[in-house]
Amino acid sequence: MSDVLTHDLVILGAGLAGLRAAVEASRVTNGDIDIAVITKGQMMRAHSVAAEGGTAAALRLDDGDSYELHAWDTLKGSDFLADQDVIDRFVHAMPGEIMQMDHWGIPWSRREDGKIAQRPFGGHSYPRAVMAADKTGFFELQTLYDTLLKYKNATHYNEFYVTSILTEGGQFRGLTVFNMTTGEYKVIHGKALIIAAGGAGTLFGFTTYSRTVTGDGMAMAYRAGLPLEDIEFLQFHPTGLVPSGILITEACRGEGGYLLNNKGERFMEKYAPERKELAPRDLISRSEITEIEAGRGFKGPNGLDYLHLDLRHLGADTINERLPLIREVCIEFNDLDPIVEPIPIRPVAHYAMGGIETDIDGATRIKGIWVAGEAACVSLHGANRLGSNSTAECLVWGGITGGEAGRYCKETTEIQSVPQDAVDAEEKRLYNDLLNRDGKEDLYELRRKLRSCMDQYVGVYRTGEDLSKALEIIKKLKVRYNDIKIADKSRTYNTNLIDALELCNLLDLAEIMVTGALKRTESRGAHARRDHKIRDDVNWLKHTLAFYEKEGPRLDYKPVNITMWKPVERKY
């Protein structure tokens, strides 16, 4: 019999969305509900710390910006796939989030007059990215963590790996977990769950993501019966450091950096004559691949041909004040000082626009489950996210879901029992089946093959032929996964077992992504098909929904919510 730990609200994930939700749930209930915050890593080690450039908000309504302009930029950036009621709520909420973070003590960068500074960002027609130098995510996470410590009602579960979501009768009942430090199997029982477990970018080999970001929340929700929405839309950031893939923030271009080909040309003038280096990410990434394929790139290691990001003309003072982390990263990882040398970059897997389907409040089809942050698809970003809107989304819907779930827990007096059959079956799956596997397949080789497949066939540009090859490879890898070997049979800090669980999640998500991409016969935002080059609003102005079936995802669709603007041609 497993140990049962009981809380009112369970939050899966300790990044920006998760901590913002915990703070808000504590605030609206005056600290009267019992909250569990679960992370498979350590607090303050969430991938949110890697966010660098800024957080978008229309702060200066008296100086050229407006809610409507932020909404239009976000919608146009999404290639008109975002839900417009969601965008409207988002842009109106964000200034309050910036001021709330300010009151909680975040060290926002300031102008000379003492007001909060903002910098330009790609796709935004006004400089609305609020920042803390180029370490914005780190300082936001630290501020939320410090604020949560003021409340005494949150228990932090560090290094607890969640393996399944328990539901019964269409309602949340709990989670099955194991303590990574001891291997003990437990049930965390609760009234409500907020999934804030992040994205799935480690599907790819060349990626900005931390290795812990393996789509666990998405995959578990999918297997629990929740549909995943728009998973085929995966953003490639234009400036990943070669060869590591470390993010080189868009703030570099917001501060005036240039993208150069091997002829020394600012090539974005050809592709986006108005915005140039500050066009949306999908457009710049396609332009970069076009330049590289035309022979105007530099030869890189392992096929990672690259272009240059040039900051030299900005001068040492600007780089040291506004981009200190980028300089440090370049020196540490490439032995290169951007004050005197250009930075080698190319498009890199960066962000999931899709996620677990939610309504505008972050609620799902299962009572008592909400989702926030990158794990969710509320659909704010549609087919392409604008830079600096992601940390903003985490703050807004972290706050919304925390408030909604907190009030729900306060009003719900009884915690329903967990389905014991499901608890026992999961324990058997982990310790009798998976842990005892002694097959011939090396799971790390399978993981390498998966990432190589995604890099090669599901990249910035896609074709039906490539996607079909990818799907065939993924299906074969899923079969081979059934014959893996778990060499470590212990329960204490068994990273071998954890890697196997993560690979299972990644294989499911890869299958969904490629199935959806193969079906979507158009080019829209980050989904660029060479064999279907035009955006097709007649047939494809709709969201993809993927439902779990044993034989593979079942796809369905739902309409985009259009309340303000009809789709038009997208030019920059």
561: Cα separation from own chain's centroid:
22
By the 8 A CB rule, do 306 and 318 touch?
no
User: Is the previous residue joined to 107 through a cis bond, with omega within 30 degrees of 0?
Assistant: no
By the 8 A CB rule, do 548 and 71 touch?
no
d(CA 386, CA 400): 21
d(CA 247, CA 208): 5
d(CA 178, CA 176): 7
For 52, the token pair is 């660098």
Contacts of residue 486, defined as CB under 8 A and 6 or more positions apart, other chains included, come to 434, 435, 436, 437, 438, 443, 496, 497, 500
Residue 124 appears among annotated catalytic residues = no
For 317, the token pair is 């003072």
Instruction: Kindly give the interhelix angle for 443-457 and 495-519, rounded to the nearest 10 degrees.
Output: 30
Taking the CA atoms of 5, 8, 10 and 11 in sequence, report the sign of the dihedral they define.
negative
For 434, the token pair is 């998976």
By the 8 A CB rule, do 542 and 558 touch?
yes
153: Cα separation from own chain's centroid:
28
Nearest to residue 385, comparing CAs of 122, 563, 198, 132? Answer: 122
Q: Which of 119, 128, 173, 237 is catalytic?
A: 237
By the 8 A CB rule, do 33 and 406 touch?
yes
Please name the residue ranges forming H helices in 244-311: 251-254, 268-271, 281-293
DSSP state of 431: I
Taking the CA atoms of 430, 432, 433 and 436 in sequence, report the sign of the dihedral they define.
positive
Residue 237 appears among annotated catalytic residues = yes
Strand 55-56 and strand 129-130: the pairing is antiparallel
DSSP string, 216-238: HHHHHHHHTTPPEESTT-EEEEE
Q: Which of 253, 346, 437, 480 is catalytic?
A: 253
Q: By three-state DSSP, how is residue 367 classified?
A: strand
CB atoms < 10 A from the CB of 298, how many? 17
3-state helix, strand, coil in the chain (%, to 5): 40, 20, 40
Q: Which residues are catalytic?
A: 237, 253
